[in-house]
Amino acid sequence: LSPEREELVGATIRNWIEDLSTRPLEEEGLGVEPVPETAPRLVCVPAEDLADELVGHMLAQLAAGGGETPPVLEHDLPRSEVLSRLAELGAEQVFLSVLAPYSYTQVRELCRDLRAHFPGLRIVVALWDLRAEAERYRRRLTAAGADEVVSTLQEAVRAVRTAPARASDPVVLAVELGRELRDGDLQRAEALLDEAGPKIPLETLVLDVLRPALAALRRDAMAGRIAAGVERLAHALLRDRLAVLGEMAPQGQGYRALALPAPGEEPETDQLILTLLMRQAGWNVVHLAQLPDEGLEEAVASVQPHVILFSATLAPGAGRLLGLAEELRGEHPELLFVLDGPGFRPAAVPRLGGAALLAGADVRKTLMAIERRLPPLPVNEGPPLARMPKADQPTEMARSS
């Protein structure tokens, strides 16, 4: 077709699509799920030419299911403009339409660019004219960054409608949370965390979302990419969230720990995370906000801990805590001291005669190392025999019923 003729055909098909969008949609034949209430924001991107763009419009109409139609980008946009538009539209998933076989190479490059610029973006690719070779291309496109490759209209609609919710994907959540924190939109950041709370396991939320977000804030502040005031507020928000999660975690009946920061300091973030994981693992953890004037003897006598967790950001505070540990070892040689934070140096471990370990960068491994150093807990053998009912004697509950 001549360019003029191709443009005319394209305009005609576009008009047909727009006319069809005003008619009631009959989906029974597609056999797909209804549109979810919280579907990730979809943008359709043509891989090569006008035909891909038109197919994108068709898919957008079906994906909407009678609701708001997702945007479709123009086929002749430069790659940089495509990336810019996706960012402006807040795309959470993209649909790449590939009609011509020769467009495969270009769509693979597009997948790589999208994955590099938007790590949390969900990418669905439709190979309309390559059904026979879909499996071979699927492997290659997946390696390039695609999340799903489809070859039929039914598969395409199902793929974009059943995409995992953004809030249930920790990678996506971490990216979005970081963006909102850098922009200073703390209200939106809190909303993201509130939405994710019921959908992401607690350990995943803490280790794969909150901890990386705190680390990124520190890096951005040191590099001058974020204002100091914004960093302080965002840091406080994340620490408060960690503290709340820790308070909500149930106390266990297993090993016992006493956690304490250096005088005048807040607990290290990793100590908050470690104690939360301890509670998840059945520990009973008691936090002391500050060092009591009378020292730790009374707290140790009350809690009877197996482990004392010290955290210190600065060397003077670490020295004060090490002095306390040396005093306690004389009366309680069975105690294990866990030292967390940059205030402690490796030389602190031999100073305590080996009854200490430095918390590592991997919080899970630190917890495993702690439990390996402890003796097994005594097995609960149940109530004394005198209090146990005989096999043929009904219990009080049975009598009352």
- Same-domain status, 97 and 207: no
- Same-domain status, 242 and 265: no
- The Cα 68–Cα 164 span in angstroms is 19
Judge contact between 23 and 66, C-beta under 8 A. Answer: no
Does 385 map to a domain? Answer: no
- Same-domain status, 29 and 48: yes
- The burial of 44, by beta-carbon neighbours within 10 Å (0-12 exposed, 13-18 middle, 19 or more buried), is given as buried
- Same-domain status, 208 and 269: no
pLDDT at 112 over 70: yes
Domain boundary among 108, 134, 164: 164
pLDDT band at 1 (very low <50, low <70, confident <90, very high): low
Which domain, by its residues, includes 170? Answer: 166-248
- Nearest to residue 212, comparing CAs of 246, 178, 249? 178
State phi, psi for 162 to the nearest 5 degrees: -105, 20
Domain boundary among 207, 223, 248: 248
- The Cα 369–Cα 391 span in angstroms is 43
Q: And the tokens for 113?
A: 């660019």
- The Cα 94–Cα 34 span in angstroms is 19
216-236: per-residue pLDDT in tens?
A: 888 888 888 888 888 899 999
Distances (CA, A) of 342 to 263, 327, 384: 15, 22, 49
Amino acid identity of residue 373, one-letter, is R
Judge contact between 132 and 101, C-beta under 8 A. Answer: no
- Same-domain status, 255 and 333: yes
Given the structure tokens 């019921």, which residue do they identify?
198
Does 382 map to a domain? Answer: no
Q: And the tokens for 359?
A: 């918390």
- The burial of 142, by beta-carbon neighbours within 10 Å (0-12 exposed, 13-18 middle, 19 or more buried), is given as middle
- Nearest to residue 289, comparing CAs of 338, 350, 247? 247
- Same-domain status, 154 and 274: no
Q: And the tokens for 179?
A: 């963006």
pLDDT for residue 294: 76
pLDDT at 165 over 60: no
Q: And the tokens for 165?
A: 């919710």
Mean pLDDT is lowest, of 141-155, 323-337, 385-399, for 385-399
- Same-domain status, 228 and 285: no
- Same-domain status, 218 and 321: no
> What is the value of pTM for the model shown?
0.56
Angle in degrees, 0-180, between the axes of helices 79-89 and 104-117, rounded to the nearest 10: 50
What is the dihedral sign for C-alpha 168, 169, 172, 175? positive
Domain boundary among 217, 248, 279: 248
97: which strand partners? 46, 126
Distances (CA, A) of 111 to 83, 147, 148, 397: 11, 10, 11, 65
169-208: per-residue pLDDT in tens?
A: 787 788 888 888 888 888 888 888 887 777 788 888 888 8
- The Cα 94–Cα 114 span in angstroms is 9
Does 393 map to a domain? Answer: no
- Same-domain status, 22 and 46: yes
- Residue count of the chain: 401
* E strand or H helix at 123: strand 122-127
pLDDT band at 383 (very low <50, low <70, confident <90, very high): very low
148: which strand partners? 124
Does 389 map to a domain? Answer: no
Does 281 map to a domain? Answer: yes
- Same-domain status, 223 and 111: no
Domain count across the chain: 3
- Same-domain status, 18 and 148: yes
What is the dihedral sign for C-alpha 74, 76, 77, 82? positive
CATH number for 97: 3.40.50.280
CATH number for 227: 1.10.1240.10
Judge contact between 179 and 249, C-beta under 8 A. Answer: no
- Same-domain status, 371 and 330: yes
pLDDT for residue 343: 94
31-75: per-residue pLDDT in tens?
A: 445 555 556 788 999 888 888 888 888 888 887 766 678 899 988
